[in-house]
Structure 1
């Protein structure tokens, strides 16, 4: 689906994009195949018919997020030095990343696209993206100092910056304020007090169950391809242990730390105080129906939960082990590779990205944390409830280990989730689950990196 956002008044027209040829498909065929292998089968692809003057942008935002993106594009397009933008919206999931790779390899790339930052390692090394010119971005008022180091550190490959983050979208906790208050879990400001240890979280689950009269902490994971991994990754990072996926393997995982984490997950979701067998939708329905005091979810569910009538609070994922860490990802702007890009058009693409990140207060209304930190200091952001309550999650962000097969919507997350799900359902021990995770990671690492 495409939408055109014309400049409402005359503006200078950047030079037309140079001709693109099929030879790039041959040149980057291996890289595109790597993206296909990581993402899954190619489905039907939307196409863009951008004029020479319009900036073509690709993203995967639909529903409420899609409407907010429309609002942001309209805001930057409607200024005296606005943009003519043709936006193409593609379905989220593996097919999006396949189409993005094939467009860059086949000479059909958009000027700007959205990429989950966790997927950068599958695109930048293979020449599917072009780096940003930081001096040019600085000319438009955006510098590296405007982003949290935990997120900015993942924007780079080989010394160059290939992604400019729009947001940080963390895995957090939402809670029923009335149940949490009754359970004695709120501080003097009415916010969730720090928990700080495995025992404290277990006790909180029991107290919330007593307060709600039903369940304590809800977590929908059954048949989900990412939920278990999000929770495990946050808790594992809190132990201070490293989880790395070096090309060729083997995976570098602290098995003792991983077993400690899975053991805690099994204790927390014991099937009594906190159910262990919920799928995503049933966990959501239970929380909205006030049959649980807390739920572990991505912040992107905020709009749905705010409509529910639950007296809603939110907080970063609790620190359970030795150091604070919150599992996140980031929707980021990238420049899909173009052969001999027109300098003026590329300049306008940089200006467009700079203007869009400055509009991220609008984006924050859906729950996403603006990656552009000057927005976080605005009084309007501080007034957002409960968004401002978990803004600190961006400072301790943890993403998937960088490798071409990992990241949002990847088979890696799915393969990590399966043994974790088995452990939570009581079908296997923590030790066996971790050994299976190691085997799955090693199997993926033995596959040759097609983008190297």
Structure 2
């Protein structure tokens, strides 16, 4: 008996002397700066505080081409992160370069998620052509229509509660632009007319609202899509000719036109909502504003959109324990994405998007309907953020709408230029 007790005592001592279970360290890369970066760092800090068994070790890299180049080279040498942020518009290129791992049903289960938890458009954009998932959508961010209500006071375009109304087609919108100019707006609709992103997003929205497709099965503007592209450019050109939009406005200048009260409308991403909220809070905006989904101007409800998502680089060969830790991180981020929505985004995770807390978040809740009709970039390696498609916007579309090229010629040049990239 004493011998057994001695063994048990020795065993107990051995157990006590064992080291504590090592926490899983998850290496994280993102491209988030400004307000997005501040919010993500706060989320990471909260996660680490709540999970003593998992530590996120985060690094922020330069947005755009530098980030995706770093991902490609790191995967090639087997030194990528465990998890990274990714634009869903870059998904086709990422799949072509084979830098993205597959996220299985078991992975989603480990994160306590399922595909049904997300808006269908975002899941489709995060999947390959066979339906396999390669990223988990975190948000839906789109362009919206910001409104300076002071230029519309007393008109049919504001209802009894001061909300934008009566814009159901292009004619209505152009009537509102003409009214705003008559009421003293020097740039009735501002957007980044001298910037690739601003020009492309407005063009793509108009094209999709016309029922058009930019790239189909490796062909640029096939069939009547050429005429639809020319029509979209023609509309943007008319806005310029009528003095309704600024000439060659860089991004910051286009925002300043609205925040300084010179524009009645502003077409830009939801990511500028914090700018407006902050200025309103500080009482430096000077007018009553709102933000709504881009109205159906051309016949179909659609708006350019993209998503930040979480992806796992290919070839990481992580242990099952590390993989589970990574999916725990992703699942927690999705469930806590209300804090991310403060940046103007719409949560891609429907339980948060449908929550009472989000429905009280304005103006997000007002334009959140766009999640159902979000129009993602074509499934092509030459489309997406910082791609040849964006280059075409600044090199062809912007000059055309400023009068240096006929809209039809511009559409033909877009087809020729982009098709050569697909050969």
Normalised by the length of structure 1, the TM-score is 0.83
Shift of 1:117: 0.1
Q: CA deviation at 1:61?
A: 0.8
Kindly indicate whether residue 255 of structure 2 is the aligned counterpart of residue 284 of structure 1.
Answer: yes
Q: 2:34 aligns with which of 63, 79, 87?
A: 63
Q: Which residue of 2 aligns with 1:270?
A: 241
Q: Which deviates the most, 86-95 or 369-378? A: 369-378
Contact 1:166 1:371 (C-alpha < 8 Å) held by counterparts: yes
What's the CA shift string for 1:155-185, capped at 9, x where partnerless?
1113310010111110111111333334432
Relative to structure 1, the CA distance from residue 88 to residue 11 in structure 2 (aligned partners, 3 Å threshold; closer, same or farther) is farther
Q: In structure 1, how many angstroms separate the alpha carbons of the residues matched to 2:70 and 2:88?
A: 17
Instruction: Tell me if 1:202 matches 2:174.
Output: yes
| Corresponding residue SS for 1:142 | coil
What are the superposed Cα offsets for residues 284-334 of structure 1, whole Å, 9 maximum, x if unpaired?
A: 222111111111111111222223324220011121111100101100100
1:93 pairs with 2:43: no
Q: Does 1:252 align with 2:222?
A: yes
Partner of 1:395: 372
Alignment-derived partner of residue 32 in structure 1: none
Q: Does 1:408 align with 2:380?
A: no
Equivalent position of 2:133 in the other structure: 161
Alignment CA distance shift 1:402-1:99 (3 Å): same
Contact preservation (8 Å) 1:164, 1:334: yes
Question: Is the 2:191–2:199 Cα contact (8 Å) retained in structure 1?
Answer: no
8 Å contact kept, 2:124–2:131: no
Q: Does 1:369 align with 2:346?
A: yes
Q: Which residue of 2 aligns with 1:330?
A: 307
Q: Tell me the CA shift for residue 278 of structure 1.
A: 2.5
Contact residue 212 and residue 290 of structure 1 kept, 8 A: no
Structure-2 change in CA distance of 1:348 and 1:220 (3 Å):
same
Of 395, 401, 418 in structure 2, the residue corresponding to residue 418 of structure 1 is 395
Residue pairs, 1:22-421, within 5 angstroms:
53-79=24-50, 83-157=54-128, 158-222=130-194, 224-247=195-218, 249=219, 251-252=221-222, 254-308=225-279, 309=285, 310-421=287-398
Relative to structure 1, is the Cα distance of residues 293 and 82 closer, same or farther in structure 2, using a 3 angstrom cutoff? farther
CA distance in 1, matches of 2:20, 2:236: 57
Query: Where does residue 439 of structure 1 map in the other structure?
Result: 416
Q: Retained in 1: the 8 A contact 2:190–2:258?
A: yes
CA distance in 2, matches of 1:294, 1:11: 59
Choose 1 or 2 for highest CA Rg: 2
Deviates more, 1:127-136 or 1:199-208: 127-136
* Greater share of helix: 2
2:166 and 2:172 in contact (8 A); partners too: no
Q: 1:265 to 1:441 in 2, by over 3 A?
A: same
Alpha-carbon distance in 2 for matches of 1:360, 1:250: 36
Distance 1:250 1:264 in 2: 21
Shift of 1:55: 0.3
C-alpha change, 1:91 and 1:126, in structure 2 (3 Å) is closer
| Contact 2:110–2:324 (8 Å) recurs in 1 | no
Whether the 8 Å contact between 1:104 and 1:337 is mirrored in structure 2 is yes
Structure 2 distance, partners of 1:282, 1:79, is 42
State whether residues 229 and 416 of structure 1, in contact with CA within 8 Å, keep that contact through their aligned partners in structure 2: yes
User: Which piece of structure 1 moves more, 104-113 or 298-307?
Assistant: 298-307
Structure 2-normalised TM-score?
0.88
Q: For this pair of structures, how many residues does the alignment match?
A: 397
Whole-Å separation in 2 of the counterparts to 1:348 and 1:165: 18
C-alpha distance in structure 2 between counterparts of 1:82 and 1:340, whole Å: 20
Bigger mean CA offset, 414-423 vs 365-374:
414-423
Q: Equivalent residue of 2:393, what SS?
A: helix
- The gaps in structure 2 that reach 5 residues or longer are 1-18, 280-284
Runs of 4+ in 1 over 4 A off after TM superposition: none
